[in-house]
Amino acid sequence: MDSYTVIQLGNPLLRMVSEPISEDLFGSEKLKKMESILFKILEEKQGLGLAAPQIAINKRAIVFGMKQHPIYTDLAPIPFTVLFNPSFEPLSDVIEEGYEGCLSVGQLRGKVPRYKTIGYRGYDANGNLIEREVSDLHARVVQHEFDHLDGVIFLDKVTDHSSLGFHEELIRSGALPSKKAD
Ligand SMILES: [Zn+2]
């Protein structure tokens, strides 16, 4: 079994622009394997999303999904999705700030402005088109993961630097809710 680890901020691989998946790979075992590795690590790390460059695969592939948010339990679930060669466009000019973290950035969190509503598209491992219009957390996750494919980390987009903090301290200060639901 291959072993993959999530590479951490400072590793230059996180700053590279990832290469598109060539069309003749759709339907291949290679892509199906990449998909299963990405989902496996997403589950192991209990992340919302993961981009291939985070496991040192320099390809335009992302996975994301959520059954139930650990804190905001009334949030709509996000279907577990793989997107090869993803793209997105904002569907309105509305931008919202929200806290983000990243499996490559340890416990640091910060507020990132993102489009509230986007349309995205990409392909599954068989080359089937996946196309959705989404809002809020679903839209945020896709924008965050998409950025990884261009070597962009959420920290680059934090405009209010005073929002930066470590997860536990932000919970202690009340900026972020505790994992224990009231
Ligand atoms: Zn990330």
Q: Would you state the pLDDT for residue 167? A: 95
Give mean pLDDT, residues 15-44: 97
Give mean pLDDT, residues 117-124: 98
3-class SS string, the chain: CCCCCCCCCCCHHHHCCCECCCHHHCCCHHHHHHHHHHHHHHHHCCCCEEEHHHHCCCECEEEEEECCCCCCCCCCCEEEEEEEEEEEEECCCCEEEEEECCCCCCCEEEEEEEECEEEEEEECCCCCEEEEEEEHHHHHHHHHHHHHHCCCCHHHHCCCHHHCEEHHHHHHCCCCCCCCCC
Cα-to-centroid distance, 174 and ligand 1 (Å): 23
Given pLDDT bands bounded at 50, 70 and 90, which one contains residue 2? low
Q: Which residue has the higher pLDDT, 155 or 182?
A: 155
CATH class of 12-172: alpha beta
Cα-to-centroid distance, 153 and ligand 1 (Å): 7
Both tokens of 6, joined, read 């999530």
Catalytic residue from among 35, 145, 168, 169: 145
Give the percent of the chain with pLDDT over 90.
90
Q: Are 72 and 95 in contact (CB under 8 A)?
A: no
Q: Is the pTM of this model over 0.75?
A: yes
Cα-to-centroid distance, 9 and ligand 1 (Å): 10
Q: Are 84 and 126 in contact (CB under 8 A)?
A: no
Both tokens of 102, joined, read 């990243």
Given pLDDT bands bounded at 50, 70 and 90, which one contains residue 181? very low
Given pLDDT bands bounded at 50, 70 and 90, which one contains residue 69? confident
Q: Would you state the pLDDT for residue 6? A: 97
Cα-to-centroid distance, 102 and ligand 1 (Å): 4
Distances (CA, A) of 34 to 26, 45, 95: 12, 17, 33
Q: Which residue has the higher pLDDT, 178 or 54?
A: 54
- Answer whether residue 35 shows pLDDT above 70: yes
Cα-to-centroid distance, 53 and ligand 1 (Å): 10
Q: Would you state the pLDDT for residue 158? A: 98
* 118: phi then psi, degrees, rounded to nearest 5: -135, 160
Cα-to-centroid distance, 63 and ligand 1 (Å): 11
Cβ atoms within 10 A of the Cβ of 46, count?
Answer: 9
Q: Which residues contact 168 (CB under 8 A, 6 or more apart)?
A: 107
Over the chain, what is the mean pLDDT?
95
Euclidean distance between CA atoms 142 and 151, whole angstroms: 15
Per the annotation, the verdict on 29 as an active-site residue is no
